[in-house]
Amino acid sequence: MIILSTDNPKNSVYYLGSILLNLMKKNTKNNFGVFDYFEIMNRTHEVSMNRFLLVLDWLYMLGKINTDSEKGLHLCT
């Protein structure tokens, strides 16, 4: 299952989403975009671009993140 995998939980969208949210909480003053967060996340957790985009879609649908042209990706309050 994509959301939560019992075989490889570190590859699930749920786990990777928590990693991304923690990265975004630490970088509130920076205007990072999609590719910036992809590079930062790959330094500690190797993830494919397709999986990373699934994580972004999932977090967006949950209302946890948003994007705009000035701020890049940002957390919703």
Q: In this predicted model, what pLDDT tens digit does every residue of 21-77 receive, in sequence order?
A: 999 999 878 889 999 999 999 999 999 999 999 999 999 999 999 988 777 898 987
Question: What pLDDT does 72 receive?
Answer: 84
Q: Rounded to whole angstroms, how far apart are CA atoms 58 and 37?
A: 15
Whole-Å CA distances, 64 to 7, 20, 49, 76: 26, 11, 20, 5
Quick one: average pLDDT of 1-11? 66
Does the model's pTM come out above 0.75? yes
Residue 13 CA to its chain's centroid (Å): 9
Residue 1 has pLDDT above 60, yes or no: no
For 35, phi then psi, to 5°, come to: -70, -30
